[in-house]
Amino acid sequence: MADKIKLFVALLLVAAGIAGYYYLHDSAAVLKLASVLVGLLLATGVAWTSQSGKRFFAFGKDSVAEAKRVVWPTRKETLQTTAVVIAFAITMALFLWAVDASLMLVVNKLMGRGE
């Protein structure tokens, strides 16, 4: 139950930050932005103390660690793969155009249109 209260308070802090943004509509943009950021930071701090918040932040930490283990392709591999995809797309477009044009000619002949 305490976790639900903490998450509700975090939600209220986000809402307060957004409400502050609209309350300060005549103020400088920096103050409006600061209002939202303070609301988000306070909400993050409160959410972090809940059990589900701790799990969420652990998940985010694990995701970053997993992304660091990914082997990204080299520039050469990326360019070669891109070239193959573009060549395939052009080839497929030409093939479909040829099939469409052929079918159009056949249909026109069957319907008695054309030469």
How much is the pLDDT for 53? 83
Tokens of 4: 């639900």
pLDDT for the residue numbered 112? 87
For residue range 3-57, what is the model confidence (pLDDT) as tens digits? Answer: 888 889 988 999 999 998 999 888 888 988 899 999 999 998 888 888 888 898 8
Domain locations along the chain: 2-69, 72-115
Residue 73 has pLDDT above 70, yes or no: yes
Mean pLDDT of 98-102: 97
Q: Using the 8-state DSSP alphabet, how is residue 25 labeled?
A: T
User: How far is 11 from 20, CA to CA, in rounded Å?
Assistant: 14
C-beta neighbour count of 10 within 10 angstroms: 22
Vertex 103, ends 98 and 105: CA angle to 5°? 95
pLDDT higher than 90, residue 100 = yes
pLDDT (0 to 100) of residue 115:
60
| Cβ neighbours around 108 below 10 Å, total | 12
**Stronger pLDDT, 68 or 1, i.e. the higher one:** 68
